[in-house]
Amino acid sequence: GVVYNYNEEGIHRAETGWEQCISIPLVQPDMFGLLQQWDKLLEEFSVGEAWLPHRYEEHDHNCYTYALAFINSVLTAQGKQQMNKSEFTEKFVLPQTKKASKYITLHQELTANDFYIVPLLPDQEEQC
C-alpha cells in the first residue's frame, strides 16, 4: 500500500522504503465500510494547514502527532472518544513493538547459532 508520513518537508506518500516498518492494525474486520473510506479520509486530512512543512517541530508536531491526529479525526467522525499519546502508545504501539522485539530476538539467535531461515518456494509449499 501507500504509506503517508510527515516530516520537516511536509506530507509524503511512499509505496517503497517502508518494508522494515511495523504495521499496526487499527480497523477491526467488521468495519469494512471504514476501510473503503480510509484512503479518501487520509488524503483529505493530509491537505490540512496543520501539516505544512513550516509547522513541523521535532518533539511536539511530528509524524507521530500526524498519525494520532488522523486516528482521532476518524474516532471523532464515528462519535467515539479521542485518544491521547499515552493511550495510543499503550493500546496499539507497545503490543506490536513487543511482538517485533520477540521476532527480532529469535531471528538473531537463530542466525548467531548457524541456523538459517529459508523461505519455501511455491512448489515446496504443496509438499508440506
Residue 46 in this model has a pLDDT that exceeds 90? yes
Instruction: State the pLDDT at residue 125.
Output: 56
Per-residue model confidence as pLDDT tens digits over 75-127: 898 899 999 999 999 998 899 889 989 988 988 888 888 877 777 777 665 55
Query: Is residue 60 one of the residues assigned to a domain?
Result: yes
Residue 33 and residue 5 in contact, taking contact as beta carbons nearer than 8 Å = no
Partners of 5 in the beta sheet? Answer: 12
The amino acid occupying position 44 is E
Query: Is residue 120 one of the residues assigned to a domain?
Result: no
Instruction: State the pLDDT at residue 27.
Output: 73
Query: Is residue 117 one of the residues assigned to a domain?
Result: no
Neighbours of 5 (CB within 10 A): 17
Query: Is residue 107 one of the residues assigned to a domain?
Result: no
Give the whole-angstrom CA distance, residue 82 versus residue 73: 8
Query: Is residue 28 one of the residues assigned to a domain?
Result: yes
Instruction: State the pLDDT at residue 124.
Output: 61
Higher pLDDT among residues 110 and 28, named by residue: 110
Parent domain of 56: 3-84
Partners of 61 in the beta sheet? Answer: 57
Query: Is residue 89 one of the residues assigned to a domain?
Result: no
Query: Is residue 124 one of the residues assigned to a domain?
Result: no
* Residue in 62, 77, 70, 58 with CA at minimum distance from that of residue 26: 70
Return the residue matching grid coordinates 479521542: 82
Q: How many domains does the chain have?
A: 1
Which whole-number Å values give the CA distances from 27 to 12, 30, 46, 75, in the listed order? 22, 8, 19, 11
Residue 128 in this model has a pLDDT that exceeds 90? no
Residue 53 and residue 9 in contact, taking contact as beta carbons nearer than 8 Å = yes
Per-residue model confidence as pLDDT tens digits over 54-80: 999 999 999 999 999 999 998 898 899
Query: Is residue 32 one of the residues assigned to a domain?
Result: yes
